[in-house]
Amino acid sequence: MIKANLIKGSVPGFIKTFDNLDELVGELERYICSSCVMTQQDYLDIYDPSNMSEDAREEFEYDVETAFPNDWKEYSVWSRMQLLLGTDCGCEMDVEFYDEDD
């Protein structure tokens, strides 16, 4: 049976084992701060780019472009895992798979 380990690089010995990816991704989400999972809509709700300086607006547009898609929670578990691991908080997390029978 394939199992998945969640590893936190900054904490030696931090390793959690899961039987399925749904549980792993649920746990992984707990280590990702809320600003890392801001969606494109969240940015547009919070900031009004109309009275920003040009530099700030460029940065804002970049943030919106690279923000999570609005419907990311409906993505497959694999895609959600990739999104979360790609965030600033997620880059210290790692997932590895192994076969328990080996």
Interacting residues of 9 by C-beta distance below 8 A, sequence separation 6+ = 92, 93, 94
24 near Zn ion, judged by CB under 5 A: no
Q: Is the CB of 21 or the CB of 68 nearer to Zn ion?
A: 68
CB of 34 to Zn ion, least distance (A): 8
Number of residues near Zn ion (by CB under 5 A): 4
33 near Zn ion, judged by CB under 5 A: yes
Tell me which of 6, 25, 36, 84 binds Zn ion, using CB under 5 A.
Answer: 36
CB of 5 to Zn ion, least distance (A): 21
Q: Is the CB of 41 or the CB of 87 nearer to Zn ion?
A: 87
Binding site for Zn ion (CB under 5 A): 33, 36, 88-89
